[in-house]
Amino acid sequence: MKKLVVFLLALVVIAGCTGQKAESSKAAIEMSKAMDTVKAKTDYLITQAKAFYNSKDFQQAINIAQYVIQNVDKDSQAAKDLLEKAKAKLQEMAQGAMGDMKNKMSGMGK
């Protein structure tokens, strides 16, 4: 039974290192906790944050980048850069939504 658990854990770690995007930032962070080195954790989490960013899930990318800076590697320039980019995109999306709402509201009065 113990060998089965170790084998399954190894499969999970290997799957996490293949570039597959985690289900959520929380899942990615939990996966990283099983990694041995700061570099391995940082590299994995940055890869996950980039995957979320590229799929336009900016909040998940922000969550991971913030976690890296606060808990893994406070000097990670990659995390800082990604955090800045994702926040800008999220703000851009919010401003776009506000513009759309204003247009809809102004159209209602006509």
Quick: pLDDT tens for 10-30.
Answer: 444 444 455 689 999 999 999
Which pair of tokens denotes residue 87? 């926040």
Domain that holds residue 56: 16-108
- Is residue 93 domain-resident? yes
Choice between 109 and 55, residue whose per-residue pLDDT is larger: 55
Residue 43 falls within a domain, yes or no? Answer: yes
Give 7's pLDDT tier (boundaries 50, 70, 90).
Answer: very low
Q: Is residue 74 part of a domain?
A: yes
Question: Is position 53 within any domain?
Answer: yes
> Domain total for the chain?
1
pLDDT in tens, 26-78: 999 999 999 999 999 999 999 999 999 999 999 999 999 999 999 999 999 99
In this structure, is residue 7 part of a structural domain?
A: no
Residue 9 lies in a domain: no
35 within a domain of the structure (yes/no): yes
Q: Is residue 47 part of a domain?
A: yes
